[in-house]
Amino acid sequence: MNPVLEVPIETLEGALRSLPFADRLEVCDDLSTEGWTPLPELVRGVRAARDQDGRTGARVVAMIRPRVAGAVVAPVLEAFIATPTVVEACMREIESMAKAGAHDVAIGLLRKDASVDVEAMQRLAGTARAAGMGVAFLRSLDLVRNRDQAMRDLVDLGMERVVTAGVLGWDASVATIDVRVERLMRDAQIANEYAASRGLHTVTIVPGGGVRSSNAREFMRVSSDLHSSCRVGGVLDAEEGCALRAVLDAQYR
């Protein structure tokens, strides 16, 4: 089992600092508001930097969250509703990210009833795959009401992975790590059992939300795949990234 560390970045400098310890770079715009679709120029630059770095085979993941008129900034249900305008914008951005060199895209559209918008996601995932990209689901999973059904939906959609803090809402501090890990384990169980019953591939749970080198071993009870901003005081910290990398590698050596 190979450990995987995914790091969200919003600048080329952040990508360069993360390449020594990251297996995936999730390229976003404005992480202070939980991220939006990045400019193609940034994705192109990150891909070039990755290709020139002989030490790494890191995958470049483009977040898909369009800044359409009236877009809700706060990470709440309304910010991820699949309106026709949002879906069309996502389609254009997926095509743009493919041309810029992204290996994968991460999308997470929901319905007003706080469920996964399966129809919209099918359309977007199909577009991404036709362009040769993998598809992951955003942490908007934490905004759905029925997580068990959502996990089944993600399996049916063929999502490769989903980032989640294992809480309801965006504030990961509302639950202890033990409670979060228990929820994440249930997510994995539901997905694995459903996938097995349908002869499908399961979806990989990627714990995120405050994951650090100090608590990584707890989250690795769920998965060898972690998502961490590797930030200290709101700033990307290479020492923290390397420390987290060392924990992952030691656990699965």
145-203 tens-digit pLDDT:
999 999 999 999 999 999 999 999 999 999 999 999 999 999 999 999 999 999 999 99
pTM > 0.75: yes
pLDDT at 219 over 90: yes
Average pLDDT over residues 125-154: 98
**How far is the C-alpha of 97 from the C-alpha of 13, rounded, in Å?**
19
Where residue 42 falls among pLDDT bands split at 50, 70, 90? very high
Where do the domains of the chain lie, and which CATH numbers do they carry? 4-251 (3.20.20.380)
Q: What is the mean pLDDT of the chain?
A: 97
